Structure 1
Amino acid sequence: MKHHLRTLGGALSLLVMAATATAATSLPTATSQTASQQFRQLYTREWTWRQTQLGGADEDHPDQQSGHLPDVSAQAQARREAYWTQILQKLDAIKPVQLQGEDKVNYAVYRQQIEVLLSDQRARTWEMPFNSDTAFWSDLGFSARAHFNSLQDYRSYLQMLREVPRYFRQQTANMRLGLARGFSQPQEILKGRDQDIAQVADTPLPANLLYTPFRNLPADMPSEQQAALRKAAEQVIGAQVIPAYQQLLHFFRSEYIPHARHTLAAEDLPDGKAFYRSQILEYTTLDMSPDAIHALGLREMASIHQQMLDTIKQTGFKGSFAQFLQFLRTDPRFYAKTPDELLKDASWIAKQVDGKIGQYIGRLPRERFGIIPVPADLAPIYTGGRGGPGVYMVNTYNLPARPLYSLPALTLHESSPGHALQMPLAAERQGLPDFRRYSYISAYGEGWALYCEYLGVEMGMYQSPYDRFGYLSYQAWRAARLVVDTGLHHLHWSREQARAYLRANTALAEHEIDTEVDRYVAWPGQALSYYLGELAIRHDRQRAAQALGARFDIRAFHDAVLATGSVPLPVLDQQIDAFIADGGRSPYADPASTVAP
């Protein structure tokens, strides 16, 4: 996935909004090849097709961006569904027991990916191509903020802008199809969701966000080249892109919002019960019922709540739990006074982690990350922070909603050893197929990042009872997601019920509670992946420690978890079984290990 910020959204938006499957006729057929050869040929061709058609890569050079936006028309969606159906049939013909070495694991990971892609196609999720903070139109803003290294980067960006009118027409047609069958985002969470559309639609050049790359062109670029690029950008943005955003804004305000559904639950969508179960399976990789998840969430919340009460005693506070939460939400000592103060505190925490991380993880990635604020146009509807390869974004909007006592847990999750460590480490893992190095499975990725908050206890990152309470509040927040997500989508809770539950059980600020509930409503099942993923990793660690006894090495265990790339939780369990059987050795200790030097 070339555009890492799209991945952070967690979101598989480009996989949901895909293009025509021109390579469908060239699938490998059974020959005298071994099962492993057939499998590798199959996934290599499909992965190349997936990147060129869904991710904007160049058809002849899949490692380069083409500047094309995908074809997301209904006809292309049908062809893609047919293509992945054929892929799954080909996988059915391959017997995993006949595969060699790592291909047994590759098969399990790859099959899950194809099943998810096909499930989304059959559910026609492309008719609802946005959620509460991520959308096809805001993805273009991330492209505008990207780092441009060459003249070709600028030309590719201009080519992408030229395709915006066609791309928006197709997305609008898809959303109309969704409206017609009751498959839309709920009207109740759409207030203000058009702000980032309006920000582009209503801002003339040269201040327009999409003109950003052309304001400060490289000093060593010839002046005539600079002038030509700026002229081309002014023409395409002024004559094509801004009108496309204006038309989208009109559609959103006059047609989509008025006709959006009035229910909240995913189970109220067409074939809703099956759809919600498919989303649970996609995001958690576990076949659990909503009722079982809800019950688990209630049990975990009770345990965490007792830990929170114990921590309150350590602060010396004499009031009730609710009064303590009110104290945390209103006392100025817990909030930064300026955006720079918040960013500097986050940077200091991340640097403290740098000094300790080598004691807990053996193999560290080469790629470093920076810390930046969430872009102003996204910040009002964005989460408190988000991280990934090369970046940890901290939301400096509405500082009274960004408590400092939660900042250590947030930083561990989003930067190192969380997302900004795990994703680059997977990409640097040599020998694994690209579909394992560059794909993202929420239960694994978010589970690891949440586990990193837990690891912060052992690392000594929570240096006061308030920091400790902030960590526990974050744990409660993720456990509460098991209750709230299933409450909204299965038990038909109201938005206010969900808000009240978070307000009563976590130290989240009111603004964060609002943005979080809207996120859960708009993105069924995704919120379940965090806590279930963390529980799986903690369980794997516990059984590895028990089985290995004195041979257990925490650095080797973390290497074993991180070396897998993004995998379903059942596959991770199997990998830890192998780690235990191998005596607890780090996968990087093996001379034959497929690791970058």
Structure 2
Amino acid sequence: MTRWFAGLLCAGIALSALAHADSPDDRFKALYSKEWSWRQQQFGGVDDEDHESNPHDDHLPDVGATAQNARLAYWNDVLKQLDAIPAKELSAENRVNLAVYRPQIENLAADIRFRGYEMPFNSDSQFWSDLGFMTRRPLKDAQTARNYIAKLGDVPRYFDQQTANMRAGLKRGFSVPRAVLDGRDVSIASYAEVKSPENSEFYAPLKKLPSTIPADEQAKLRADATRAIRERVIPAYAKLLKFFREDYVPHARKTLAAEALPDGKTYYRQQIKEYTTLDLDPEAIHQIGLNEVARIDAQMQATMKETGFKGDFPAFLLFLRTDPQFYAKTPDELLMRASWIAKQVDAKLGQFFGLLPRGRFGIEPVPAAIAPFWTAGRGGAHTYWVNTYDLPSRPLYNLPALTLHESAPGHALQGELSEEHKDLPDFRSKSYISAYGEGWALYCEKLGKEMGVYHTPYEEFGRETYEMWRAARLVIDTGIHHKGWTREQAIQYLASHAALSQHEVETEVDRYISWPGQALSYKLGEIRIVELRAHAEKELGPKFDLRAFHDAVLAEGSVPLPLLEQRVDAWIAARKAKG
């Protein structure tokens, strides 16, 4: 019996034993604790953009079809055991936990059921580029370094499994669309064509080993890493590059829509449910988008007049995209401007939030290997990544909105508070729900007006263009995946409504084409948070406290939108009861 199946059998026996736990609360806690521990073992070795590492850190995940099917069986069993727990008998705290946990497991199981692992990348994020993030975490001791080197040695096996999955996807027409694949091989080639192991990004952590490791052991670790990169990593990337260029790209599907995939209508609805946490059909979302686009367009027209510009709207967009005054001349200038904006926000957080995190975030440029096809920026609890690639496509008037969204009070503040919330189980504090997280961050762009972060009409237009960008996503995502829009149609729609550069417009549309549903989470989440604030203001009148409202929204960490609504209603009732 293999260790994999032996472990799974033991886990299954342990899970079955949970039925004999005393109370529904005890059974539920034992179930999710056991599953979370098992989940960490399953996905060991994967780091994220915030340098967070899994403790099971000496190998990369088993992503083969056999392992995937075993995971599906495990999660189906978890769902069956959840059905056996009487939800009404759970404590109030655990009813909240259950409302977060069940959809989390349902989405994990659904992804395998649709065999999403056969399409393990999109135009924005790729498994081969994600490995680069593990180079950003310092090797704090010799064992950590040995684990890191072991992961490097595991790259060929991991890539072979991913390649087998992609071949299976190609065979059944389940692939990333051909239309968005041009140039994406560059992110593989940057690793495959390194001339010397010491020049590889994967060698970088070995250059800064701590002095607590003896010199002779440091030399051995560096030699082992050099060998692993030369004999394992570089050949694995070269093999993947050949497959990508010669097999994947030529045979990728010619359609764009998620609904054109096998069982595509059901698949797209599942993606909508996962990313929005709402039961909305594509037609309803499309109409919400059209309504929001019309509303924001009127605001943008008014702000354009406020700048004193004399031409029409298309001429104004051209002016914004081409005038040198709106663009940084060096990467450092862009990074320093972002830092300056973040520091302005930092000074005002106490006026808008009662509870602030102890943690702090850093600001770094997006790694060069992924920058050409990444968004303008991205943030998490520990890092605000600013894309310094192609500076003429990174307008400064958008930077305040981007910074509010990606750092504080957006993703960094929300993520830090969630991490520091000691009362939340790991499956909540270490997980992310897109509709909540992206909705909150987009709300924070709007909050920046009250914070006084936008200093010119151009910066306010940048905020509006970012909101328009997210509203247009509702139209474009459903247009592509449900209504049969072409790539050119989507590019034209976004370019004509928002002051994004042409490079950003094209990379964003390609992202929506290859990542169905994800783009819907931002605007739908923000709409709900804005509605909840308006509801609280109306219900509480002069008793409404904005700082307390923000604390209430952030108190539960990342939660589905219906649950957030319930929690805010409970907060309003509690404030009223205080008199």
Smaller-chain TM-score bracket: over 0.9
Q: Which residue, 69, 88, 108 being the options, matches 2:79?
A: 88
- Name the SS of the counterpart of 2:213 in structure 1: coil
In the alignment, what sits opposite 1:534?
A: 526
Contact 2:136 2:205 (C-alpha < 8 Å) held by counterparts = yes
The question of 1:37 aligning with 2:51 is answered no
The question of 1:151 aligning with 2:164 is answered no
Contact 2:282 2:482 (C-alpha < 8 Å) held by counterparts = yes
Structure 2: distance between partners of 1:48 and 1:82: 17
Contact 2:40 2:56 (C-alpha < 8 Å) held by counterparts = no
Q: Residue 216 of structure 1: CA displacement?
A: 3.3
Contact 2:356 2:417 (C-alpha < 8 Å) held by counterparts = yes
Where do 5+ consecutive residues of structure 1 fail to align?
A: 1-18, 587-597
**Equivalent residues in 2 for 1:448-487 (5 A)?**
448-487=440-479
The question of 1:341 aligning with 2:333 is answered yes
Contact 2:139 2:210 (C-alpha < 8 Å) held by counterparts = no
Structure 2: distance between partners of 1:429 and 1:172: 39
In the alignment, what sits opposite 2:566?
A: 574
In the alignment, what sits opposite 1:10?
A: none
- Name the SS of the counterpart of 1:372 in structure 2: strand
The question of 1:404 aligning with 2:393 is answered no
1:558-584, Cα deviation, whole Å (9 max, x unpaired):
111111111100010011011111117
Q: Sort the Cα spacing of 1:63 and 1:258 in 2 relative to 1 into closer, same or farther, 3 A.
A: closer
Higher helix share: 2
In the alignment, what sits opposite 2:167?
A: 176
Residue 14 of structure 2 aligns with an amino acid whose one-letter code is S
Q: Which residue, 38, 41, 45 being the options, matches 1:49?
A: 38
- Name the SS of the counterpart of 1:380 in structure 2: helix
Contact 1:446 1:529 (C-alpha < 8 Å) held by counterparts = yes
Q: Residue 213 of structure 1: CA displacement?
A: 1.1
In the alignment, what sits opposite 1:513?
A: 505
In the alignment, what sits opposite 1:325?
A: 317
In the alignment, what sits opposite 2:14?
A: 26
Q: Which deviates more, 24-33 or 258-267?
A: 24-33
Structure 1: distance between partners of 2:371 and 2:139: 23
TM-score of the two chains, using structure 2 as the length reference: 0.95
Q: Residue 414 of structure 1: CA displacement?
A: 0.3
The question of 1:107 aligning with 2:98 is answered yes
In the alignment, what sits opposite 2:483?
A: 491
Structure 2: distance between partners of 1:64 and 1:482: 38
1:468-490, Cα deviation, whole Å (9 max, x unpaired):
00000000000000000001100
The question of 1:446 aligning with 2:438 is answered yes
1:127-150, Cα deviation, whole Å (9 max, x unpaired):
000111211111111111222222
Structure 2: distance between partners of 1:226 and 1:44: 38
Structure 2: distance between partners of 1:264 and 1:408: 33
Q: Which residue, 292, 301, 315 being the options, matches 1:309?
A: 301
Structure 2: distance between partners of 1:76 and 1:314: 59
Structure 1: distance between partners of 2:327 and 2:518: 29
Q: Residue 222 of structure 1: CA displacement?
A: 2.2
In the alignment, what sits opposite 1:562?
A: 554
Residue 350 of structure 1 aligns with an amino acid whose one-letter code is A
Residue 164 of structure 2 aligns with an amino acid whose one-letter code is A
Q: Sort the Cα spacing of 1:553 and 1:135 in 2 relative to 1 into closer, same or farther, 3 A.
A: same
Contact 1:556 1:584 (C-alpha < 8 Å) held by counterparts = no
Q: Residue 221 of structure 1: CA displacement?
A: 3.4
Q: How many residues align?
A: 565
Residue 485 of structure 2 aligns with an amino acid whose one-letter code is W
In the alignment, what sits opposite 2:291?
A: 299
- Among all aligned residue pairs of Structure 1 and Structure 2, give the percentage whose two residues are the same amino acid: 59
In the alignment, what sits opposite 2:50?
A: none
Residue 43 of structure 2 aligns with an amino acid whose one-letter code is L
**Equivalent residues in 2 for 1:264-279 (5 A)?**
264-279=256-271
Contact 2:155 2:236 (C-alpha < 8 Å) held by counterparts = yes
Q: Residue 208 of structure 1: CA displacement?
A: 1.2
1:197-247, Cα deviation, whole Å (9 max, x unpaired):
111111022111111112333345322112101110111111111111111
Contact 1:556 1:585 (C-alpha < 8 Å) held by counterparts = no
TM-score of the two chains, using structure 1 as the length reference: 0.92
Q: Which deviates more, 479-488 or 196-205?
A: 196-205
The question of 1:199 aligning with 2:190 is answered yes
Q: Which residue, 97, 105, 108 being the options, matches 1:117?
A: 108
1:67-88, Cα deviation, whole Å (9 max, x unpaired):
2111111001111111101011
Q: Which residue, 65, 68, 71 being the options, matches 2:62?
A: 71
Q: Residue 390 of structure 1: CA displacement?
A: 1.4
Residue 70 of structure 1 aligns with an amino acid whose one-letter code is P
Q: Residue 29 of structure 1: CA displacement?
A: 4.0
